[in-house]
Structure 1
């Protein structure tokens, strides 16, 4: 462990840039808590899918829109902030594997674009972070609007990027490893999600003005973690870093 994090690190960026691996790895390295906000949107999306409501009804009917919002807001979602075991539960059921499937992946952008859903989950995310900080813990939070909307006061904001080719390759590898033979073409699906996430009216995907952009295209996970740790050190966010005898990773 390279010291202990204090405060909040916000990790944003599009799919395939390594947000989850990076945020979780940094939390484990710095004895911090970890929050995957995307998993919360995936969980409420699963609730909507299980309800049988057609997602396209939100675009054509005010009543349909309200029905989808009602299901999403009525879902009981709980997430663990332990980076060693970041479980997600929907109405008491462990759905960590199911929310990573192709059906949820294909629907999550449509559900997460709904203003009422985002407002509800942002409030919950802020509550979880506040509880962690009140307990004296640092926390690494990942998503698509953490630095701009959820936690604009975060001590360190990072926006991860990667080339389209690298991102598609990573997604394909993830789908193959998970046995998702029915997964859509990774490059096409990522482009679709990028367009939906960056063009939505509420909390569009974009870097915060004071975010540090880190291109992960040519970095392995240890290289990315070293970079983020150096940034946290520069901001005096790591307790015991010097005392532990751990040198900076700057070359």
Structure 2
């Protein structure tokens, strides 16, 4: 039996780290859909395309050769034969990605690829050999996989999210580091919320608040939701 777990959440909620751990524990593939938008942003900049030219960016993304390595123990992102796993996490990409993520034609193309990857990992011969996938992002529970077996919204207070992202980017959560990170978290969430619902749970989506939880506790909380949801479905 294949399992699809869909996890949405705002910046700094811990959804990437948690989703990877959950995928490992369940033996499932792992898809970071946010990394796909970052990859598209990196590719557009690499190719010299103006991000404000929505038509040109969309055309570029439709032809983009993108490979997502879905092994949760070592996920990778390749664009045009280039390993961009590290490059797409640079600040220059983080500050520009909303321009691509709010491009509706880009969203349509990447949504098509995301649905295809989710379906493929539920088939024999895939990396997961049909066991399924944990997919995380901002519209997975509502747009990409509304029929997923398990749908969760992973959230946290703004204070907790800013501190986590500051530690991730700057290695500290002091006042200066938090302020330097604010734009990436608060402004990006505000921009992206115009085209995706990830700040409140849709009907049937379970909310897990990780504000007071560490990584292991959050993983356990999510696994608990998965187990209870699957048990209720028999």
The TM-score normalised by the length of structure 1 is 0.83
Please say if residues 102 and 183 of structure 1, whose CA atoms lie closer than 8 Å, have aligned partners that are also in contact.
Answer: no
Is the counterpart of residue 168 in structure 1 residue 162 in structure 2? yes
Residue 26 (structure 2) aligned to one of 26, 30, 34: 30
Equivalent-residue separation in structure 1 for 2:171 and 2:122 (angstroms): 35
Equivalent-residue separation in structure 2 for 1:157 and 1:99 (angstroms): 27
How many residues are aligned here? 222
Equivalent-residue separation in structure 1 for 2:141 and 2:75 (angstroms): 21
In structure 2, do the counterparts of structure 1 residues 54 and 227 end up closer, same or farther at CA, with 3 Å as the change threshold? same
Please state how far the C-alpha of 1:219 moved relative to its aligned partner: 0.5
The TM-score normalised by the length of structure 2 is 0.89
In structure 2, do the counterparts of structure 1 residues 86 and 183 end up closer, same or farther at CA, with 3 Å as the change threshold? farther
Is the counterpart of residue 189 in structure 1 residue 189 in structure 2? no
Equivalent-residue separation in structure 1 for 2:42 and 2:133 (angstroms): 26
**1:130 corresponds to:** 119
**2:229 corresponds to:** 235
**1:245 corresponds to:** none
Q: Could you report, residue by residue, the CA deviation over 1:141-169 in whole angstroms, capped at 9, with x for unpaired residues?
A: 00000000000001111101111111111
Equivalent-residue separation in structure 1 for 2:78 and 2:184 (angstroms): 26
Please state how far the C-alpha of 1:204 moved relative to its aligned partner: 4.0
Residue 48 (structure 2) aligned to one of 33, 47, 52: 52
Please say if residues 150 and 230 of structure 2, whose CA atoms lie closer than 8 Å, have aligned partners that are also in contact.
Answer: no
Please state how far the C-alpha of 1:37 moved relative to its aligned partner: 0.5
**2:10 corresponds to:** 14
Query: Which runs of 5 or more residues in structure 2 are unaligned?
Result: 125-129
The alignment partner of 1:8 has SS state of strand
**2:127 corresponds to:** none
Please tell me the root mean square deviation across aligned C-alpha atoms, in Å. 2.1
The alignment partner of 1:158 has SS state of strand
Q: Could you report, residue by residue, the CA deviation over 1:212-241 in whole angstroms, capped at 9, with x for unpaired residues?
A: 11111110111111111111111226xxxx
**1:246 corresponds to:** none
Equivalent-residue separation in structure 1 for 2:158 and 2:184 (angstroms): 11
Q: Could you report, residue by residue, the CA deviation over 1:73-128 in whole angstroms, capped at 9, with x for unpaired residues?
A: 22111101110110100101110000000111111111011111111111111111
Equivalent-residue separation in structure 1 for 2:2 and 2:63 (angstroms): 33
**1:223 corresponds to:** 217
**2:87 corresponds to:** 98
